[in-house]
Amino acid sequence: MWTVHAFGMIGAMIETTTILLSTGSIFHLPLADVFRATRESGFNGVELLLGPELAHVSDDQISRSAEQHGVPIRCVHAPFFAQSGLDEDYFCEIERTIELARAVHAAMVNAHPFGLISHPEQARRLVELASDIALATENMPQGIDISNADEAAVVRDHEALNDFARANGLKMTYDVTHFATWGKNILAGHRIFEPTMINIHVSDYIAGYQHLLPGRGELPLRELLHTARADGAAEFVTLEVAPDSFSRRDYAHVVEALTAAREFVQRGLAV
């Protein structure tokens, strides 16, 4: 799974976890530069976030650009919300995401839990539709406005969210910054989600500022990564930072910062 020659001895020590870059981290760049920066900063591939910037880019264009730059699309992240705000439309968005994931040979699809919790039959249908592609949902940060009371209760209760995922055949993506917004230790979050976890979204957090580059906040990320390496639960560890976490947005600086962040994650996963 690892391209050992790209990372040297440390990379050789990591056998089961693939380090990805969320394309949402640098969505301000043209798509070709997103893939080029991913390769140049040493990531094993991307988690492709389907945001508005890709609304008019065809699946073939996405696939060709990734292939041209030698960057596998290992995960595809469904849009955050249905544009209409209707649950039915969000299910269609997830269906479309599954189709794209199959076309680019991705191993998993990630989707936010909105609508899935209040319509578990749809969650099970989508899991069946995905078939050999893992369908995961993600824990949410504090402060999200959720109109459905039952859904809001499960989002707030992380053990209930994990139980929901397990009961309906979903995997979990553990977003450590989202968990930190609840004032809880991220190592406790790892213990909760470990039974169903396939992906860890890594970024730092401090005083209300989410999705910072590793080392820019106060989270015990090194300890979390050592724990993740020891239990081997997560197939993927994905760097997901906000574009405004970079002190500059020019291409050279972004690649330099991403390389440092990838090395941080890599060292944390090393034995």
Q: Domain boundaries in the chain?
A: 4-269
Task: Look up residue 215 and give its amino acid.
Answer: G
| 86-92 contact pairs (CB < 8 A, 24+) | 87/114, 87/115, 87/118, 87/119, 87/122, 90/114, 90/115, 91/115, 91/119, 91/122, 91/126
Distance, C-alpha 196 to centroid of its chain: 15
Phi, psi of 47 (to 5 degrees): -100, 110
pTM for the full predicted model: 0.91
Angle between the N-to-C axes of helices 59-68 and 87-103, in degrees from 0 to 180, rounded to the nearest 10: 40
Give the gyration radius of the chain's Cα atoms: 17
Runs of H (alpha helix) within 131-219: 149-156, 158-167, 176-180, 186-193
Domain 4-269 adopts which CATH fold?
Answer: TIM Barrel (3.20.20)
241 contacts 47 by C-beta, under 8 angstroms? no
Task: Give the amino acid at 54.
Answer: L
> Which residue has 């094993």 as its token pair?
44
Locate 216 and state its tokens.
């820019």
Supply the pLDDT for residue 6: 36
Supply the pLDDT for residue 212.
98
Q: Can you give the pLDDT at residue 178?
A: 98
pLDDT at residue 238, rounded to an integer: 98
Pairing of strands 45-49, 73-77: parallel
Q: Can you point out the beta strands (E) in the chain?
A: 18-22, 45-49, 73-77, 108-111, 134-138, 171-175, 197-202, 204-206, 209-212, 236-239
Question: What number of other Cβ atoms are within 10 A of residue 119's Cβ?
Answer: 17
Q: Which regions in the chain score pLDDT beneath 50?
A: 1-14, 84
